[in-house]
Amino acid sequence: MDKLKMKSRDLTKGNIEKIGELFPNVVTEIKDEKGNVTKAIDFELLQQELSDEIVEGNKERYQLTWPGKKDAIVTANTPIDKTLRPVKEDSLNWEATENLYIEGDNLEVLKLLQESYLGRIKCIYIDPPYNTGNDFIYRDNFAQDKDEYLEESGQVDEEGNRLFQNTEYNGRYHSDWLTMMYPRLKLARNLLSEDGVIFISIDDNEVHNLRKICDEVFGERNFVGDVIWERAYAPVNLKKHFSENHDYIVSYAKNIGDLVCKGLKRSDEADARYQNPDNDPRGPWTSSDLSVGPIVQEKIYEIITPSGRRVLPPEGYCWRYTRERFEEMLNDNRIWFGENGDNVPRIKRFLSEVKSTVTPMTIWKHKEVGHSQEAKRELNKLFDGKAYFDYPKSVKLIKRILELYTDKNSIILDFFSGSATTAHAAMDLNAEDGGNRKYIMVQLPEPTDEKSEAYKAGYENIAEIGKKERIRRAGKKIKEETGADIDYGFRVYKVDSSNMKDIYYRPDELEQNMLDQLESNIKEDRTSLDLLTQVMLEVGLELSLPMETKEIRGKEVHFVAGNSLVACFDEDVDEELIKEIAKIEPLKAVFRDNSFKSCPDKINLEEIFEGISPNTDIRVL
């Protein structure tokens, strides 16, 4: 029972809570005038969240900080001039599938998905680089020119960004890892639904730092649990002190109050503990202790067994119920005195009345969810004995996460896709329970080692293995074994520069020979499907929605999810075509800015829609 405060509402505290919902990382702890620790707003961090420039300042406070943290905040908030381009030839069942495989830098992908998938992702699982000094390869955008990048490492991407390994001898060993992770987690939080959850695999090297940045990004109150996965079962005797055989899986909710755990299915072994020795019509049951501590005086009383034995609770204990409640349960045949009626009384717990699921524990044994060696063997078998990945995650491991926290129609995101185990697990679970879970896999096209089996087999990067082989082979295997009629396909998209030309030149930069280039604001190599995809991203439509193309009055017209979006990017759009599209009453209609047949056609566009479909949101590009 809550006590009335008998005073007016603390508006400051309420405002802090509201700001904390938007920016959990700006809520900190300070001491008030009485020396009590209380919550407050870190105004410098709040100012940084609302600025696209680095805000300087230094003040002693409880916080996690590192060189590059403010850069990381700016990086998360800075928009990019990129888009996703569809790759139909790499896709499987493009027209019908609702799954996505996106190839590119996951930071850029997360930014591009902010409109279409804002608050729509139910579960995120990621297996980021563990920062062991060997496998941490990522984009480094710190200030150095292209020549310096080439000179220092010899590894650059198409934009001159260095790709390098983060060894412990690097002075910014932890800082670089934190700077890489922080903006990705901030953007990922935006995509989670209010009842969404994120799971992050990690080892001892960075688990302490991961917990700290997740406390900032998601809020400490939204910590769900830290699962310990037994990834190995045999010791490595070459280790000097301890042979590590576990990884961590750190979990945070978007809003812990909305998160629901479905629990694990009860095992046959657990159900076998229930018997029915007295043929109770309510079915099998097991018994539990009637005594409990600490002592409550009114619950200490004498019980007489059917055999006439007088029983008191053990010393230091009392009965679980009052005498009145005990008598009610006795009359309902819920008290068991043993077959001879002479035992200390116990409570009957019926199988029909217990939960159909079991609350999961935080230690996940390899016998339950698999281990690394088993996962590697299964993957090698899937690839006809070829070892393309050294440390894949177990399908059973990811499947357990999905069983606990997803519904049959949930969207699942993995933006460190690797070998695409998450996609495999989602299909496997769908085949088992008839679900329609949809996945989004994101993977940087990281080059494979020229000496590796993957490279020799013709796979130039990791993304090619995931999209061209792992998902296809896994889907085929699941279909052969189960015959399940589920979605085995996926649409492939790649990160690329914007479809729009850079037409914002200063007057002194314009030259006569550039005028022809400025007739169209769209790049010459882009297709209408490219444009449609970028429009969908901007107006907030999921890329998995059904798309259809029809010919109307000789022009190509695109439809997304029926009339949710209707777009025409052809030239010479006239008044009659505009009227035909308006009659469809689309929720959104999009045209190219310079594609109208004449100026009057463009001028009359809004007037035509106002008369035929006044609720249509009209856009031009």
Query: What is the DSSP code string of 367-412?
Result: HHH--HHHHHHHHHHHTTT----SSPPPHHHHHHHHHHH--TT-EE
Q: Which amino acid is at 110?
A: L
pLDDT digits (tens, 9 = 90+) for 416-436: 999 999 999 999 999 999 999
CA distance 221 to 225: 11
pLDDT digits (tens, 9 = 90+) for 394-423: 999 999 999 999 999 999 999 999 999 999
Q: Which amino acid is at 88?
A: K
CA distance 617 to 538: 13
Q: Which residue has the higher pLDDT, 392 or 612?
A: 612
Q: Residue 131: is its pLDDT beyond 90?
A: no
Residue 545: closest CA among 582, 587, 497, 577: 587
pLDDT digits (tens, 9 = 90+) for 21-80: 888 888 888 877 777 778 888 888 888 888 877 777 666 677 888 988 988 988 888 888
How confident is the model at residue 35, as a pLDDT?
A: 76
pLDDT digits (tens, 9 = 90+) for 457-504: 888 899 999 888 899 999 999 999 999 999 999 999 999 999 988 754
Q: Are 100 and 491 in contact (CB under 8 A)?
A: yes
Q: Residue 505: is its pLDDT beyond 50?
A: no
Q: Are 159 and 82 in contact (CB under 8 A)?
A: no
CATH 3.40.50.150 in the chain is located at: 82-131+166-246+374-496
597 pLDDT band (50/70/90 cuts)? confident
| Type and span of the H or E element at 474 | helix 471-482
* Reduced DSSP (H G I as helix, E B as strand, rest coil) percent helix, strand, coil of the chain, to 5: 35, 20, 45
Q: Which residue has the higher pLDDT, 550 or 144?
A: 550
CA distance 70 to 49: 9
How many beta carbons lie within 10 A of that of residue 400, not counting itself? 22
How confident is the model at residue 454, as a pLDDT?
A: 85
141 pLDDT band (50/70/90 cuts)? very low
pLDDT digits (tens, 9 = 90+) for 261-288: 999 988 888 889 999 999 999 999 999 9
Residue 534: closest CA among 79, 85, 80, 81: 85
Q: What percent of the chain has pLDDT over 90?
A: 62
How many beta carbons lie within 10 A of that of residue 241, not counting itself? 5
- Give pTM, 2 decimals: 0.82
Q: Are 443 and 462 in contact (CB under 8 A)?
A: yes
Q: Residue 156: is its pLDDT beyond 80?
A: no
Q: Which residue has the higher pLDDT, 619 or 8?
A: 619
512 pLDDT band (50/70/90 cuts)? low
How many beta carbons lie within 10 A of that of residue 546, not counting itself? 13
Q: Which residue has the higher pLDDT, 1 or 421?
A: 421
pLDDT digits (tens, 9 = 90+) for 162-195: 444 555 444 456 888 999 999 999 999 999 999 9
- Cα–Cα distances (Å) from 69 to 75, 185, 223, 589, in that order, read 10, 13, 22, 41
160 pLDDT band (50/70/90 cuts)? very low
CA distance 172 to 151: 20
Q: Which residue has the tokens 């750190």?
A: 250
Which superfamily does 82-131+166-246+374-496 belong to?
Vaccinia Virus protein VP39 (3.40.50.150)
Q: Which amino acid is at 279?
A: N
Q: Residue 95: is its pLDDT beyond 80?
A: yes
Geometric angle at alpha carbon 148, from 146 and 150, rounded to 5°: 70
How confident is the model at residue 59, as a pLDDT?
A: 65
Q: Residue 2: is its pLDDT beyond 60?
A: no
CA distance 261 to 264: 9
Q: Residue 372: is its pLDDT beyond 80?
A: yes
The average confidence (pLDDT) of the chain is 87
CA distance 41 to 362: 33
How confident is the model at residue 132, as a pLDDT?
A: 61
CA distance 439 to 43: 38
If phi > 0 it is left, if psi is from -120 to 50 it is alpha, else beta; for residue 315 that is: beta
Q: Residue 214: is its pLDDT beyond 50?
A: yes
**Residue 231 in 3-state DSSP?**
coil
Least confident of 2-11, 22-31, 116-125, 459-468: 2-11
Distance, C-alpha 75 to centroid of its chain: 20
10 pLDDT band (50/70/90 cuts)? low
Q: Which residues contact 591 (CB under 8 A, 6 or more apart)?
A: 567, 568, 569, 573, 605, 618, 619, 620, 621
Looking at the DSSP bridge assignments, the partners of residue 566 are 559, 589
Q: Which amino acid is at 406?
A: T
Alpha-carbon Rg for the chain in angstroms? 30
12 pLDDT band (50/70/90 cuts)? confident
Q: Which residues contact 296 (CB under 8 A, 6 or more apart)?
A: 318
